Amino acid sequence: MISPSESTAPPAVTLAAHGLSRRFGSHTAVDGVDLQLRRGEVLGFLGPNGAGKTTTMQMLTGNLAPTAGAVSVCGVDLLEAPVEAKSHIGYLPETPPLYRDMKVGEYLDLVARLHRVPSAKRRAAVDKAQARCGLSDVSRKLIGKLSKGYQQRVGIAQAIVHEPDVIILDEPTVGLDPNQIRDIRALIRELGGTHSIILSTHILPEVEAICDRVQIMHHGKLVYSDTIAALKQFHSGRILLVGLNNPPAMDELAAIPGVTRAEAAGEHLFRVSIAAGADPTTQIVTLAAERQWGLHQIAPAQTNLEDVFVNLTTRDVTDGEKAA
C-alpha cells in the first residue's frame, strides 16, 4: 500500500500511529496514542519522566511490539512489513547505540551499510553526516575516547546518515554544552525542512525554539496536541509578570481595568492575567509610580509552554481521567 498521495495535500503524511497502546503486565505504559507527522514537520514530544515517551518511540521504530494499535511509515505498515518500514526511519534511542571500539567514520560507514546505502554513495553520505554534526575532525578517533557531547553527536549522525524520511530522536541534546545545543538545534531545524522529525525532550524552550507542533504525554496518554504557532497566539501577551518591591493588595492590582486576575508568582513577583484585547501595561506603570509600588520589572510571561505543561502534568490522576 504505497500510495504517493500527492493529490490530497502537498506535505504527505510520513508517520501515522493509531490507538497505540502498550501494557507491561498490569501496568499500562502507553494508552491509545494517536500521532500524525507530515513531511517537513518537527514534532516536539513532551512529558514528565515516566510518561511513556520512550516507550512510544520504541514502538514507532519497531523495537517494541505494541499491545494494540497500528503504525505506518510512508504508507508501509510497520508491523506487517517491518524491514521495508524501517528503511524510512532514523532513530536515536535514549542510550546512543555506539560501538566504543570503532572509529567514528568506520562506525557511520557500518550504519550506512546496515541501512542499505548503495556503496557508490556511502562515502559521500558518511562525509555529509559528519560535516552536519561537526564530526569531520574526529572521523578517525575511537568513539570510546570521545567526550559525551561528541558521542551524542555521533548518535545523531547515525540517525541521519541514510537520509531517512522520518527521524526519531529521544532526548537529542542531553549531555551537550550550550554551544553544542545551539548547533544541534540549528541542525534539527535544517533537517526539519526536508524530513519529518519527532524529538522528545523535557527542555521546554527547546520545543518552542525548534518545533512546529507539540504533543504532551502524561501517564501514557496524549493530553495536549497543538501547533506552537497556535500556542503562542493563544497565550501571547495574556499574562504579564510584574515585579513590585512594595506591592499593594491583590485586589488593588486586580481592579486595574483590563486585568482579570492577579496572583503572587514568587517573591515580589506577580502574575497578572489580562482580558482579551486589553493592554493595561501603561496603567500599571503609571499607578505603580503614583502609589510607589516599587516597580522593577514588567514583561509578558515568556514560558507559555511551561504553563501548559505544568498545568497538564501536575493535576492528579482522577482529574486527568475526568478530562480525558
Partner 1 sequence: MIFTIAGKDLKALFTSPIAWVVLTFVQLIVGYGFLKRFDEFMEVQKQLLQLASPPGFTELVAVPTFATTAAIMLFAVPLLAMRLIAEERRNQTIVLLTSAPISILDIVLGKFLALLGMLLIILALVALMPLSLSGATKLDYRLIGSIVLGLTLMAAAFSAVSLYVSSLTTHPIVAALGAFGALMAMVLMGENVADNLQTRGLGVLATFAQVFSPVKNFEPLGKGVIDSYAIACLVLLTVLFLAFTVRQLEARRLRG
99 interacts with partner 1 by CB under 8 A:
yes
Smallest distance from the beta carbon of 227 to partner 1, in angstroms? 28
Cβ neighbours, 10 Å, residue 105 = 19
Q: Choose, by CB under 8 A, the member of 77, 84, 212, 307 that binds partner 1.
A: 84
Angle at 283 between CA 277 and CA 285, to 5 degrees: 120
Q: Choose, by CB under 8 A, the member of 22, 53, 185, 213 that binds partner 1.
A: 22
CA-CA distance, 79 to 18, in Å (whole number)?
13
**Stretch in the footprint of partner 1 (CB under 8 A) among 91-99, 210-218, 242-250, 299-307:** 91-99
Q: Choose, by CB under 8 A, the member of 111, 117, 133, 191 that binds partner 1.
A: 111
Q: Choose, by CB under 8 A, the member of 40, 48, 93, 149 that binds partner 1.
A: 93
CA-CA distance, 147 to 49, in Å (whole number)?
25
CA distances from 84 to 14, 26, 54 (A): 14, 32, 22
Contact, 134 vs 142, CB < 8 A?
no
**Stretch in the footprint of partner 1 (CB under 8 A) among 44-52, 113-121, 146-154, 284-292:** 113-121
Contact, 175 vs 203, CB < 8 A?
no
Smallest distance from the beta carbon of 294 to partner 1, in angstroms? 55
Smallest distance from the beta carbon of 170 to partner 1, in angstroms? 10
- Closest by CA position to 208, among listed 223, 183, 229: 229
221 interacts with partner 1 by CB under 8 A:
no
**Stretch in the footprint of partner 1 (CB under 8 A) among 90-98, 174-182, 220-228, 243-251:** 90-98
276 interacts with partner 1 by CB under 8 A:
no
Q: Which residues contact 162 (CB under 8 A, 6 or more apart)?
A: 87, 90, 111, 112, 115, 116, 117, 125
56 interacts with partner 1 by CB under 8 A:
no
97 interacts with partner 1 by CB under 8 A:
yes
Contact, 231 vs 305, CB < 8 A?
yes
Residue number, 58 or 304, with CB nearest to partner 1: 58
Contact, 259 vs 280, CB < 8 A?
yes
86 interacts with partner 1 by CB under 8 A:
yes
**Stretch in the footprint of partner 1 (CB under 8 A) among 82-90, 178-186, 273-281, 291-299:** 82-90
115 interacts with partner 1 by CB under 8 A:
yes
Q: If 0-12 CB within 10 Å is exposed, 13-18 middle and 19+ buried, where does residue 98 land? A: middle
CA-CA distance, 216 to 51, in Å (whole number)?
9
Query: What cell numbers appear for 298 in the block?
Result: 514588567
Smallest distance from the beta carbon of 97 to partner 1, in angstroms? 4
Q: Choose, by CB under 8 A, the member of 28, 87, 151, 303 that binds partner 1.
A: 87
Binding-site ranges for partner 1 (CB under 8 A): 22, 24, 55, 58, 61-65, 82-84, 86-87, 89, 91, 93, 95, 97-101, 110-111, 113-116, 158
